[in-house]
Amino acid sequence: MKIALVGTGTWGTATAIAIARKHTDQQIFLYGRNAEKCTTIQSSRQHELLSDITLPENIQVSNDAAALQDYDLIFWAVPTQHSAQMATSLRDHINSRAAIVSLSKGLEQESHARISEIIERELGTRPFAVLSGPSHAEEVAKGLPAGLVCAASNDTLAQNVVEACHQTNFRIYTSNDVIGVELGGALKNVVAIAAGIGDGMQLGDNIKATLVTRGLAEMRRLGRALGAQEASFAGLAGMGDLLTTCYSPYGRNRSLGEQIGKGVSVEDILAGSNMVAEGAWTCRAAVQLAAAHQVELPVAEQVTAVLWDKKPLQEAIEDLLSRSSKDENL
């Protein structure tokens, strides 16, 4: 297999590093749209946000889109809201037989589409997989151990991803639940914002655990409505990724929520950040998608109201906690 990655953010770069460490005799191609950034990474062998990590010599970083034509396994590490535009720009450069492996975690704003749906819409039907789980880029780049799950459209592709990635410190499990694994990766970011808000307001560990647990229930609820396998939400792409995102200092969505909880405006946070907090965009799409399927997402609804409707934090918390009692398993 010839392996390429699209997206020079921290997660795309960290995944390239992990793959390159396994395949030391093979060139790994990392494509980015920004020529200057690609040149800097290629020459310095470092990423500005992973500055203490030296890229393996077998990673080639370039903005030469035409080079992608030669690759048959392409990992997609593009923020969800930019994925359609990137796919359109690369349509004539990606081999029609190439499989896409999504590393992205979110729902598109207007269409509420998952990455698999965006790729099919923009690049046509092709083998597709999603690789997700608790995997902060900073830790993966350092070679610290992590476990992820690959959900693929067919078993052959799943095994190809295992062959590309699986190693001692980068353990890959397999699944056939593309919908569930994509939803887990997208929706956990919304819950992390809620957990971060609680941290910022110093509301304590009890409410944080409640938000995480009930957030997971919302993930399962929407997943059922969309045809996902419920077991996926108890796995690495669900509970696993949810925990690390809600509790780790690396979690950019938790950090976004924490700053909001401390009184910083959403506009100031997003304007001043050089990293994408996907949950800020996914929350609204998730609420609208859930409404279309008559599914309630109380935590996501309040996060959306705070971020997009300027709802006061205390009012949002009171509205969430004052809801009538119900069966926990519903």
Gap between the Cα atoms of 240 and 175, Å rounded? 15
- CA angle 99-156-94, nearest 5°? 10
> Quick count: other Cβ atoms within 10 Å of Cβ 320?
19
Which phi and psi (to 5°) does residue 78 adopt? -110, 135
Q: Are 281 and 219 in contact (CB under 8 A)?
A: no
User: Is 188 considered catalytic here?
Assistant: yes
Say how far apart CA 272 and CA 252 lie, in whole Å. Answer: 13
In which residue are the tokens 């939400």 written? 233
Q: CA 41, 252, 173, 78 torsion: positive or negative? A: negative
Bridge partners (DSSP) of residue 132 are: 149
C-alpha 304/C-alpha 287 separation (Å) is: 8
DSSP string, 29-64: EEE-S-HHHHHHHHHHS-BTTBTT-PPPTTEEEE--
Name the DSSP letter for residue 125. Answer: S
Count of CB atoms within 10 A of residue 273's CB?
A: 14
Given the residues 2, 188, 310, 326, select the one marked as catalytic. Answer: 188
Residues with a catalytic annotation lie at 188
